[in-house]
Structure 1
Amino acid sequence: MQRRTLIALCASLAAVATMPQAGAQGAYPNRPITLIVPYGAGGVTDVIARALAQGMSKPLGQTIVIENKPGAGASMGVVDMKNAKPDGYRLTLTPVGIFRQPHIQKVNFDPVADVSYVAAFMTYDFILAVPANSPFKSVKDVVDAAKRDPGSVDYGTPGKFSANHVTMAQLEQKTGAKFTHVPFKGDADSINSLLAGHTKTAVFANSVQPYLTSGKMRALAIASDKRTEAFADVPTFRELGYAFDVPSPLGIAGPKALPAEITQKLEAAIQSAMQEPAFKQVAANYGIRLEYRNAQEYSAFAKKAFAEEKDIVKAIGLD
């Protein structure tokens, strides 16, 4: 009797050993996912990333944990992807700065080859603003003043080679005007300087909205391809005759060779999250323009942006 029981037990153990391991081979995702935000906690990007992560958690059935990794020109997430397994459990936000960084300095990542682009969900807009009491009433006023006295018109940004800086560098190239760049550590310092009268103009992302609404600042132009709902009264640079815009989509990517079925699940989760009222409200609070690009479209944008940024950096100069 004992011998028959032992044989039966061995047979059962053998059967279990040959069964697929639910924890290792179960349907994706079967455990929490980490999303890297390459900025500090509490900023606009961090806030909207957390809202998106919460919305994505519902269709995926798993928690998405935010991991803040600021520094290195917002490229820490892409660097992280080089060593991450392509299993969909470690992802990163991918700001446009990652396409510019390799042309500025030596880096240990390739923003096209080292990641798999999943989807973009929003785009930043960059606005040229002045204090409410500024004598500048238009972009033409700013350009004319800079032409009359080269270097006399300064502008604040969150730093050299930021998209804010690129905006004014493009305006210089299109007009021949010469401005003076004043880089700060972030939008907050640039805002304080402008309101205190230390700088004459500045380029801000969506963080400027409250100051426009309160009447403390006046927007002269926006560097988007079209007018946006949040800044409907602000003309684009193109409308004003300056033929450029500064596209700045923000999306999610994973390590290279991310399986197609995982990418598709994440794409669907992002689309679902974008329809969540809570996520839409967070975006509206900051005047953020929601704009979806699927994996194919986002990958194509990445290749194009990486190539174009080389010319932009060259035009600005590294000195």
Structure 2
Amino acid sequence: MNPSRPVTRRQLVLGSLGAAALSTTSARVLAAEYPERPITFICPWPAGGTADRSMRIICQIAARELGQPIALDNRAGASGMIGSKALSSARPDGYTIGQIPISVTRFSQLGTVQLDPLKDFTYLARTSGQTFGIAVPANSPFKSLRDVIAKAKAQPGVITYAHAGIGGATHVGMEQFAQAAGVRFNAIAYKGGSAALQDVLGGQVDLLADSSSWAPHVEAGKMRLLATWGEARTPRFKDTPTLKELGFDVVVEAPNGIGAPKGLPAVIEKRLRDAFRTAVNSEEFRKVAESIDAPVMYQDGPDYRKYIQAVYQQETELIRKLSLKELMAKG
């Protein structure tokens, strides 16, 4: 084009149409080609735990949908925040995705992880919740939660409980319960639920606050389940009351979700959302979820983002109510 000749409206329109067509063609090519190689899935928890098992089966099903393997990369630590930070810092090309713990909405506000959950992730799917509960060894003197509360009121700070990390769901849930019951416990932090479970089974700690790591031990008669934390009783342990039933307005389900770094191309986002929708809603996943007491709580990416925004606001109030910043400072 002659630079001295004025550009006509027709040329501008044709140029815009050409650019749009090129963009559409590029998007189609990208969608058709993705994925061209294996995908890495960051799981922010140790291998073998309930979250890890849940994510593994989901990834196996999604991999079949995508036509490429999805390899789990366990990056445990800091109550799931090491893996969360790694995910937020990855390239947004669809080849690094991962689990996003709901507690990122809390830890980001507490300043223990430097990221913004409202801006730094592309949300793909909410998958399933968790069944949390309070359990004791079979030989424990505590036969019911009422027994625990009675001793805690008589001897504040004496009863110990094991949890999977300061500021995480098990720690915060137990502190919510303690505040509602008007008691004080001695919290013992671990790097994960499996280590906490072993010390409770060994009699070194009085109570276990965890997701369903206690389940097989309860069924084997080695542990006693005193209460669960869901909105309703879990079918597998239908004789165990919820905290809400016992008069404490505490519900903790901490649903898991899957995401990617911000900036993920829309065509890749849709491909992943479709694959994980199929995986989460499959009969294969439902059976595994039932076996680890993880109620399926599917939401598509856009709805999951709205859920995250709502939880973020709830956590702001919870941090204030429980003085979590002060608890974190004490360690």
Q: Please, what TM-score do these two structures have when normalized by structure 2?
A: 0.82
Q: Secondary structure at the match of 1:236?
A: coil
Equivalence for 1:15 = none
C-alpha displacement of 1:48: 2.2
Question: 1:99 Cα deviation (Å)?
Answer: 1.7
Paired position in structure 1 for 2:134: 128
Q: Find the aligned partners of 2:164 and 2:261 in 1 and give their Cα distance.
A: 29
8 Å Cα contact 1:155-1:203 kept in structure 2: yes
Q: What residue ranges of structure 2 are gaps of 5+ in the alignment?
A: 1-21
Distance 1:230 1:289, change over 3 A: farther
Residue 70 of structure 2: aligned partner: 64
1:230/1:29 Cα in 2 relative to 1: closer, same or farther (>3 Å)?
farther
Residue 152 (structure 1) aligned with residue 158 (structure 2): yes
Higher deviation after alignment, 301-310 or 51-60: 301-310
Q: Distance in 2 between matches of 1:54 and 1:144?
A: 47
Partner of 2:205: 199
Distance 1:294 1:133 in 2: 45
- 2:79–2:191 contact (8 Å) kept in structure 1: no
Taking the TM superposition and a 5 Å limit, the aligned residue runs for 1:113-192 are 113-192=119-198
1:224-303 equivalences in 2 (<5 Å): 224-303=230-309
Would you say the 8 A contact 1:161–1:313 is kept in 2?
no
Structure 1 CA distance for aligned equivalents of residues 80 and 115 of structure 2? 12
Answer whether contact 1:211 1:217 (CA < 8 A) is retained.
Answer: yes
Matches of 2:317 and 2:103 in 1, distance apart?
14
> Aligned equivalents of 1:22 and 1:46: distance in 2?
33
Mean CA deviation greater in 45-54 or 98-107: 98-107
| 1:200–1:43 Cα change, 3 Å | closer
Deviation at 1:261, TM superposition (A): 4.1
Q: More displaced, 267-276 or 212-221?
A: 267-276
Partner in structure 2 of residue 7 of structure 1: none
The number of residues matched between the two structures is 301
Counterpart amino acid of 2:61?
Answer: G
Kept after mapping to 2: 8 A contact 1:78/1:115: no
Change (3 A) 1:42 1:129: closer
Mapped to 2, the partners of 1:155 and 1:72 lie a distance apart of 19
Whether contact under 8 Å (1:29, 1:62) holds in the other structure is no
Unaligned runs of 5+ in 1: 1-17
| Cα-Cα RMSD | 2.5
- Residue 30 of structure 2: aligned partner: 25
Aligned to 1:13: none
